Amino acid sequence: MDVYVDPDKCIGCEICVNACPDIFEMQADGLSHVKEDAAACEQEGCCEEAAELCPTDAIFINGEPR
């Protein structure tokens, strides 16, 4: 499962970081990013939940927004 945050859509609300802190982190640009050392998305079980909670559909899983 490939996960990606579109920096043009992310508004830095931190919802995904709170929902799935092992995958997403806030960085200095004020936006969410997938952690460098993130475990595989499917192992965490919260990736899709975070994507569904994202208010701007900025999180793409396998190339698709949720």
By CB under 6 A, name the binding residues for ligand SF4: 5, 10-16, 32, 54-56, 58-59
Residue 36 CB, nearest distance to ligand SF4 (Å)?
Answer: 17
Buried b (16+ CB within 10 A) or exposed e, 27-38: eeeebbbbeeeb
Q: Which is nearer to ligand SF4, 14 or 48 (CB)?
A: 14
* Cβ(21)–Cβ(48) below 8 Å: no
Residue with tokens 């859509």: 9
Q: Which is nearer to ligand SF4, 7 or 42 (CB)?
A: 7
In angstroms, rounded to a whole number, what is the distance separating the alpha carbons of residues 8 and 24?
16
Q: Which is nearer to ligand SF4, 15 or 38 (CB)?
A: 15
Residue 47 CB, nearest distance to ligand SF4 (Å)?
Answer: 12
